[in-house]
Structure 1
Amino acid sequence: MGKVNVCLKRSFYVVASLIGIVTILMLAFTLFSHGYLLQEEEMDELHPYFLVMYTFSVLTLVLVIIGLYGACKEKKWALILFGVGMIFSSVYMIVSEIQGRTLEPKVGGELKKHYLNMLPLANASESFLSELDKHQAIWDCCGVDQGYQDWGYNIPESCVCSGLNDSSNPCVVAPRNSSLYEHITGSGVVLVYSEPCLPFLVSTEIMAINIALGIYLGILLLWISSAALCIAMLCQLNRKVDTPTVVYSQEAKAGNYTVLSDAAENT
């Protein structure tokens, strides 16, 4: 059985350790997300995804431990198990990446439909209204689809703009029958942002999805690299070690015995 190159083995250690760290972070993120969304209404729909993430993370951690053991002790069975597992994982990740890239053009329409289903805002959940209120202050927008009209009477303070030129989005006069005029006396007016937040919400979500797919692609390359390094180590372990051939020489044997016999005669 051949020996594994030291540089190759160290490279495998580094890649496998990185995979272990990434997997631990994935498991921690899954646990945090599961706990955070535990009380949400959509939890039943997300349960299969959490189950897949738990299974994938735990199995990958087990494979990393087996692979590091196989590389350290140069055990073929452990490296074979690691290599086969990582190849199957890579195939699954490649299929997921292709599906994500294929469905990307449809994501915008689905997100738009999702946010429109939140209307009217009077019936929306408190968590969504809180997030929308924060986004309005950041993006200088108001409402979801129809601007300030989506809020009806209760227009929040985050929709208010201080002047016509204080942002890139135009401002309009808020209706007199809104909550913003409760503390306004006289003929004063309140300006609110006219642009709805739906385009900003959709574009931000799509950007986040693209970033996630890019990170996923980097993780996929890490998985493929580990499988390639594992295969390279197995090839070196299966390589036959060349042993020097022993050459029998009758003359050399005779010469040695001749010298010994001459020495015996002289004594």
Structure 2
Amino acid sequence: MNQVNTCLKRIFTVFNIFFAIVGGIIIGLALLSQVYTNINGNVEGRTTSLLLLYVVGATTMVIAILGAYGAHKENRGCMIAFLVCMVIGSLMLLRAGIVLASNRSQVEPTLEEKLKLLVPLNQAPQEAQDMANNLQTLAQCCGLFSYEDWRSDIPDSCVCNDEEVMEDLCQTVSYTSIMLTQKNIYTKPCFPVIIHYLLLIIDIMVGIIFSLATLALLGLALSSLIIHQMRHPNRATVVLSVPAIFAPSMPKYQELQNPPPKYQESPPHY
């Protein structure tokens, strides 16, 4: 005998299918990140980040499968385990989202302080110079804070082509190495570009985290309803109705105008 409302089970199944899809997307992003970092060389913190993505994606899929199985088989143990996971997950996600949002304002000064340690760029480690050159080519910028970060060794990644000069993206600078040299280089520095995209990524992450927390709270509510129905299978479904005390009655003025009929006395018989 089914103890859980069929409509509720279907809604919960759809929820878990969507939850499993989210887990699959996270695993897919981890795979794409792994391929990208393999092509572009080692990135600091790569292994830890990829492992975290794989764990989060796999855990999400396992929890979704657990919830769907528990609802389909009406297994109270699976549903209680799913409920506990939703409680823990929602609390962790809310905490992570609040911490990330509150620390957003500290990102720019912290990153600026770290990047200033790489200046001058022409004396920075080769790995840092390669990353700066790639960034300058992609973002059409020169130097971290100014083209002077390169001193007199401005690389070719800063140099504009004729089309970019016509688009007013460049400036002409003169510097002396062995002889006086002029170059058309990108006007904007790279640090504003870096901080713009970094803050954009943080905002997206905060949105994703709070969205997942909302889904976790929804899963918590649905699983609680299912467990409640499993514990009280014979309880009738509660239907909201208007109490009798609020039932519509005849207005007072109608009562005055239309008094209730009185019994007429029969005429006397003589």
- Give your verdict on TM over 0.5: yes
Question: Aligned-pair distance for 1:163?
Answer: 8.5
Q: Bigger relative contact order, structure 1 or 2, given CA contacts below 8 A and separation 6+?
A: 1
Match of 2:83 in 1: 83
Secondary structure at the residue paired with 1:241?
coil
Match of 1:197 in 2: 190
| Alpha-carbon distance in structure 1 between the residues aligned to 2:136 and 2:33 | 25
Q: Establish whether residue 226 from structure 1 lines up as the match of residue 228 from structure 2.
A: no
| Alpha-carbon distance in structure 1 between the residues aligned to 2:37 and 2:179 | 32
Instruction: Return 144-153 or 197-206, whichever deviates more.
Output: 144-153
Question: Aligned-pair distance for 1:79?
Answer: 0.8
Instruction: Return 234-243 or 59-68, whichever deviates more.
Output: 234-243
The aligned length equals 234
Secondary structure at the residue paired with 1:175?
strand
Match of 1:237 in 2: 230
Please tell me the residue identity of whatever aligns with 2:153.
Answer: Y
Q: Establish whether residue 70 from structure 1 lines up as the match of residue 106 from structure 2.
A: no
Match of 1:251 in 2: none
Question: Aligned-pair distance for 1:81?
Answer: 0.8
8 Å CA contact 1:169, 1:193 repeated in 2: yes
* 1:179–1:30 distance in 2 versus 1, CA, 3 Å: farther
1:209 to 179, 202, 209: 202
| Alpha-carbon distance in structure 2 between the residues aligned to 1:178 and 1:199 | 32
8 Å CA contact 1:155, 1:180 repeated in 2: no
Please tell me the residue identity of whatever aligns with 2:118.
Answer: M
Give the TM-score taking structure 1 as reference length.
0.72
Where do 4+ consecutive residues of structure 1 move more than 6 Å?
Answer: none
8 Å CA contact 2:94, 2:209 repeated in 1: no
| Alpha-carbon distance in structure 2 between the residues aligned to 1:47 and 1:137 | 27
Question: Aligned-pair distance for 1:77?
Answer: 1.1
8 Å CA contact 1:63, 1:82 repeated in 2: yes
| Alpha-carbon distance in structure 2 between the residues aligned to 1:26 and 1:52 | 10
Question: Aligned-pair distance for 1:88?
Answer: 0.6
* 1:236–1:29 distance in 2 versus 1, CA, 3 Å: same
* 1:217–1:207 distance in 2 versus 1, CA, 3 Å: same
8 Å CA contact 1:141, 1:194 repeated in 2: yes
8 Å CA contact 1:16, 1:68 repeated in 2: yes
8 Å CA contact 2:22, 2:57 repeated in 1: no
| Alpha-carbon distance in structure 2 between the residues aligned to 1:19 and 1:192 | 49
| Alpha-carbon distance in structure 1 between the residues aligned to 2:126 and 2:72 | 54
* 1:51–1:192 distance in 2 versus 1, CA, 3 Å: closer
Percent identity reads: 24
| Alpha-carbon distance in structure 2 between the residues aligned to 1:64 and 1:142 | 48
| Alpha-carbon distance in structure 2 between the residues aligned to 1:164 and 1:48 | 40
Q: What do residues 43-101 of structure 1 show as CA deviations (whole Å, max 9, x unaligned)?
A: 4xx65555554444433332222211111111111111111111111111111011101
Residue segments in structure 2 that go unaligned for 5+ positions in a row? 237-270
Match of 2:92 in 1: 92
Secondary structure at the residue paired with 1:190?
strand
